[in-house]
Chain A
Amino acid sequence: MVRLFTRDSAAFVFLAPALSAIFVFFFIPVFASFLIGFTDLDIYALGDLSKVRFVGIENYARLLKDPLFWQALFNTFYFVIVAAPLSIAVSLGAALALNSKLAMFKPIFRLTFFMPVVTTLVAIAIVWRFIYHPNFGVINYFLGLIGLHPIDWLGDPNWAMPAIILMAVWKNFGYNMIIFIAGLQSIPEYLYEAAVIEGANGWQQFKSVTLPMLAPTTLFVSIITMIGFFQLFAEPYIMTQGGPLNKTLSIVLYMYNEGFRWWNMGYSAAIAFVLFFIIFTGTIVQLKLQNKG
Chain B
Amino acid sequence: MYTKKTFLHILLFISAILTLAPFVWMLSASFMYDGHASVYPPRFIPDQFTLIQYKNLLARLNLARNFFNSLFLALSVSLISLLFNSMAAFAFAKYRFKWKDKIFNTLLASMIIPAQITMLPLFLMLRYMGLVNTYFAIIIPGMANIFGIFLIRQYAQSIPDSLIEAARIDGASEFQIFKEIFLPLIVPILVTLALFTFLGTWNDFLWPLIVLNNDSMYTLPVALANLMGEHTKDPELMMAGSVITILPVVFVFLFLQRYYISGIMLGSIKE
Contact = CB atoms under 8 A, between A and B. Distances in A.
Q: Which of B38, B122, B149 has the most CB of A within 10 A?
A: B122
Given A17-B87, A122-B224, A131-B22, A29 B122 contact: yes
B61 interface: no
B199 A118 contact: yes
Q: Which of A103, A119, A238 has the most CB of B within 10 A?
A: A119
Contacts of B26: 127
Interface stretch (A77-85, A156-164, A207-215, A275-283): A275-283
Interface residues of B, number: 93
B260 interface: yes
Contacts of B264: 175, 178-179
Contacts of B171: 1
Given A25-B143, A103-B9, A234-B206, A255 B116 contact: yes
Interface stretch (B12-20, B47-55, B154-162, B185-193): B12-20
A60 interface: no
B37 to A, nearest CB: 7
A120 B121 contact: no
A153 interface: no
Q: How large is the interface on A (under 10, 10 to 19, 20 to 34, 35 or more residues)?
A: 35 or more
Nearest to A223: B112
A18 B84 contact: yes
B87 A15 contact: yes
A272 B5 CA distance: 49
A260 B210 contact: yes
Contact of A233 (B9, B22, B206, B239): B206
Nearest to B211: A260
B28 to A, nearest CB: 11
Contacts of B253: 115, 118
Contacts of A113: 15-16, 19
Contact of A120 (B19, B249, B268, B270): B249
A238 B225 contact: yes
Contact of A272 (B15, B120, B124): B120
23 contacts: A14-B95, A17-B83, A25-B140, A28-B121, A30-B110, A33-B118, A33-B120, A36-B121, A98-B12, A119-B246, A122-B205, A123-B245, A123-B246, A126-B241, A127-B26, A127-B242, A128-B22, A136-B40, A141-B40, A231-B116, A260-B123, A269-B117, A275-B114
Given A19-B103, A28-B121, A279-B112, 5 more contacts: A12-B91, A113-B19, A122-B221, A122-B225, A265-B120
Interface of B: 4-5, 8-9, 11-12, 15-16, 18-23, 25-26, 29, 37-42, 83-85, 87-88, 90-92, 95-97, 103, 107, 110, 112-114, 116-125, 140-141, 143-146, 149, 171-175, 178, 199, 202-203, 205-206, 210, 220-222, 224-225, 228, 235, 238-239, 241-242, 245-246, 249-250, 253-254, 257, 260-261, 264-265, 268, 270
The 7 A-B pairs at the shortest CB distance, nearest first, are namely A32-B121, A18-B88, A29-B118, A10-B174, A18-B144, A11-B95, A123-B242
